[in-house]
Structures are given as structure tokens and as C-alpha cells.
Amino acid sequence: MNIYEHHEIKGWFFLPEDPDNRVPGVLEWDPAKGASIELMGGFSSLAIPSLKSGAVYTITDEIVASMPAQTMYLETEAGKKYSIWDAWRSSYSCNILGKPHKEQWLSGLVCVGDHVLPEEEIFTEATFCIDELYYLVNDGRILPPEWCEMKGVERPGEKLENGTFLLPYVLPVLGGFQAGKFEGNTEDTRYSINTFATHPWISQATEKYSSLKLNLMLKHQRHGLVLQISVDATISITLRKHTEEPEDLVGTVSDLMDRFMPIHDLMRLATFQPCSVSRVQLQSQNNSDDTYLLKKFGEVAQPYESHDHDNMVFTLNDVSLENFLEKREHLTSIDGAISPWSILIGLCGYFSNYAEEYISQSFAAAEGFHKLCLGKGENYIDTSDRSKKYCLNKRLKELYALLPQKIQDKMKFDVEEWAKRAVKARNYAAHGGPMRPNDSTSLSDRYVIAVSVFLVTYLVVLNELGVPTEKICDALLNHPKLLIVMRYCDEVRSMLES
């Protein structure tokens, strides 16, 4: 079941602890908002004051909110099972006797295909379909066409007097499923990127009748025939423990979802845009192949939108999955380092409508990354020696110095003046205004400086990950969103020169 699509499911709802008390209702899934459930009745367990005939009662927000978050089960007439986790009641109405008349519930997490409690440790694997993931792999399943001889075509490539012009060719396709195109491990998790390409259906009948094999691949549309060939990629996440005993390789959905974060970070760094998930399939000890997860991931996936080849900053041919996982673990291992790292990841390809928000976050990412991720937060005993103390000015200069010379040549910043202006912009945002009355720096100036500070930090991350300098320079010239950032840097250079 696809996360990016709208779904409407009608059936009977009940609580796990009270399966006999079933209430009819409708679950609607909106990929941007999550799940909304409307019940014709309800599961009220509230201590409502005695109601008297003829009186008018208002169910306050406090009463509605007092109903704790629940796990709710849904079963359709056809027997399809759904588990709605962390559902909270948004509105409630009751009749004159105090019994529930209608309830509205909201949730951002629905398990499709089974009745499962969120704390149950039964899941062995989660497989994610992610926008742009294939281009991070790009395994070349569709090979260049080749001209060939074909029975019934006597003069291929020659235009005849009646206008006939036939060009027989073969399109080589490496169909089927390939597991572990790229793999990587952390201490407790195994990651495997797999690819799949269209292939003919295999059965005794198709192997005997080749025309049937072709017919099953064709779409018979009114304008004619269509042969669709597709290639895509998924990533599978499994738990990995030292014992490797089967009972130790299972966990909750939350366990698997937490392990998705490194892949989320990889996608945002590699594409410089939000990471959109279109489908999550779960495998459990119940051996159910049709268990899926509906979850809000922030950005709604658009798997059928066109792909721009310039959207990739780097691929796994430039940085292996194993090395990325190892380097990410190293950069976030210090206590507190995950916070600036997460801010930095969130800003990849993000342009806020609120300038002051972006300014504050950009500087938090830069200062926190240098201090915690790069381990430059030492406290010196001799605090009287200011040259040995880290300040934002010094941190920014050191970040810039970490860039390879070819990238510095692209930036062309006067580093002393750039760091000085950046400190003023940060102080303005951090202290609620200018530090000096004669500081006339405009909001737009502070914004473009913040963008340049984030870009430098992002490029340092790419360099730390081992992305080739040539790939980074190419992305600065061609990536659509990085081109926008580089135009901001042009404004910064003009500002520094003036």
C-alpha cells in the first residue's frame, strides 16, 4: 500500500483489550496529514458527570484530551486487518444518556495487514521505497539497443518506394531481482540496497509458448500496444546482533524505523533535497508478505515525477554505503553531536519562509558541527589566552580551511571579512537585534550570509564523507538547488568586496 496515495477504508473498529465491542467507522489516509478516523459511536471511558434530561452539555477540550493515546484495530468486511497506533481523539459527542454518539480520532501511523501492538517484537525486516534511490545506485539494467537481423525483414534500414522503413533492434534488459547491490552494516543493523527490473513471467505455459510470454508483458490499449520496462530500487533494513539467534533478530516497528535515519540522512546529503518515502513493507515472524506501514515522513513522495540527472550530488559509486555508515557513526558519536547533525541534514535543500529561523539554524548547524561532530569543543585551562579559545569567528575560518583548494576557488570568499560579517549576523539573531547602534546590516544581507555559512558546512560534510572534489565542483555548477545557493554566494562576495 502506497503512502503517497489517499486511501479510504470502511469497517469495524475495536480496542485490542475489548474485541467484542465493535464500532462502525471510516479510516481516511491523507499522505500529508495522516490518518483520520470517524466512528459512529465510540470507545469512551470518561467519567462524565451525571446528565439530566433537558440540560445542554459541552464536551470541553480538556475532557477530549483526557482520553489517552490508544492502539485501535480495524477489520473490513473482507477480513483485511489494520492496526492504528498512537491514535488520539480530536473530537467527541454524546447523546442525552452520556453514551458516545460520534468520535473523531487522528493518527500518523497505521500498520496494514495485521493486528499488532506497537510494543510487539515480531518484525524481522523493513523494506523502503524512496524517491531517487535508484539513481543513488544506477546499476545499468537497461543496456544500449543493438541493431539486428530479423526474420521477415529483408532490407533493414532501407526506405522502400512505398514508404516502408523497418529498423529491427534488440533492447538488452537485465531483468529480475538483485539483492545486495550495495550493503553496509552498523553494530546492530544490516542495510541492503536491492534492485528489480521488469522480466517475462516464468511458468510452464510461458516457457512452452513464447507468444504468451510476450502477451503477458504487453498492455493492450486502444491506440495500440505498450511494452513497459521499469527498473527501481529498494533498501531493506534488518536487525543485527552478535548472537545471530533468530529470537534476537526481531524487534518492534519503532526499532526498524529508528534504523532508517542513516538512510534518510544519506538521501538528503546525496540529493540536497527532502527524502520522500513512497512505501514501507514489513516482514514479521507471522510470515505475512502483505504487511505495510502508512506513516507521515514530512515530504510526500512523487515517484512518477521526472528525474533530473543533475539532482544527484554524489552516488554510492563515489562513497560506499559501508563507509558512509561508518563515517556518520563517527561524526555523531560524541554526546550531543546528533543535534547539530540533524539540524544540518534538515537544512539540505530547505529554504525557509522565515528568514530569522533559517539564520539561527544555519549558524547552529555550523557551530555545533565544528564543536561536536568534528570534536573541536575542547575547554582550555588558560582562558585568559583568547587565541586558544574557540569562538564562532575561529570556527568558521577553520571550517572554510577544511575545504579542498578547488572548492575554495569556487567560493572565492575573503575569509576574514566573511567570518566577521557572519558573526554579526549570528549575534543579531541570537541577541534579538544589533550589538551596536550603528549596525545597519539588513535582513536580506544576514540571510544570504547564513546561506553561505550553511553551504560551507555542507561542503565540509561532503569532504569528510570522501566525496570526490570533482563531483562536488560539478554539483556546484549544475545541481538546481545548489545553483540557487551559489547565486546567494555571489551576493555575499559582492557584499564583502564593498
pLDDT at 438 over 70: no
Confidence label for 354 from pLDDT (cuts 50, 70 and 90)? confident
**Residue 330 pLDDT:** 96
27, 9 contact by CB (below 8 A) = yes
**Residues in CB range of 329: below 8 A, 6 or more apart:** 186
According to DSSP, residue 427 is labeled H
**Residue 64 pLDDT:** 47
195, 139 contact by CB (below 8 A) = yes
Confidence label for 384 from pLDDT (cuts 50, 70 and 90)? low
**Residue 380 pLDDT:** 44
**Residue 290 pLDDT:** 83
**Residue 42 pLDDT:** 79
List the one residue out of 36, 25, 33, 26 whose CA is nearest residue 4: 33
238, 260 contact by CB (below 8 A) = no
Amino acid at position 396, single letter: L
pLDDT at 53 over 80: no
List the one residue out of 402, 401, 332 whose CA is nearest residue 369: 332
Lowest mean pLDDT among 88-92, 149-153, 492-496: 88-92
Lowest mean pLDDT among 101-110, 179-188, 373-382, 473-482: 373-382
Q: Grid coordinates in use for 386?
A: 583568547
Distances (CA, A) of 96 to 51, 60, 62, 99, 102: 7, 16, 20, 8, 13
- Angle in degrees, CA 323, 327, 331, rounded to 5: 170
- What burial letters (b/e) apply to 226-243, b meaning 16+ CB within 10 Å? eeeeebbbbbbbbbbeee
Q: Within 13 A of 69's CA, how many CA atoms are on the CB side?
A: 10
Ordered by start, the domain boundaries in the chain are 7-112, 123-309, 332-497
71, 84 contact by CB (below 8 A) = yes
Q: Grid coordinates in use for 272?
A: 540536497
User: d(Cα 250, Cα 134) in Å, to the nearest integer?
Assistant: 27
Confidence label for 99 from pLDDT (cuts 50, 70 and 90)? low
* pTM: predicted TM-score of the whole model, two decimal places: 0.88
Task: Return left, alpha or beta for 145; rule: phi > 0 is left, psi -120 to 50 is alpha, else beta.
Answer: beta
**Residue 258 pLDDT:** 94
Strands 109-112 and 176-185 come out as unpaired
Chain-wide mean pLDDT for the chain? 88
Neighbour tally for 200: CB within 10 Å: 16
Distances (CA, A) of 464 to 200, 331, 404, 460: 44, 9, 11, 6
**Residue 98 pLDDT:** 55
Confidence label for 48 from pLDDT (cuts 50, 70 and 90)? very low
Tens digits of residue pLDDT in 256-287: 999 999 999 999 999 999 999 999 999 988 76
User: d(Cα 212, Cα 217) in Å, to the nearest integer?
Assistant: 9
User: d(Cα 138, Cα 20) in Å, to the nearest integer?
Assistant: 51
428, 434 contact by CB (below 8 A) = yes
Confidence label for 67 from pLDDT (cuts 50, 70 and 90)? low
Q: Which of 55-69, 86-100, 421-435, 456-470 has the highest mean pLDDT?
A: 456-470
Tens digits of residue pLDDT in 297-324: 888 999 999 999 999 999 999 999 999 9
Lowest mean pLDDT among 333-337, 457-461, 466-470, 494-498: 494-498
**Residues in CB range of 496: below 8 A, 6 or more apart:** 413, 414, 417, 418, 421
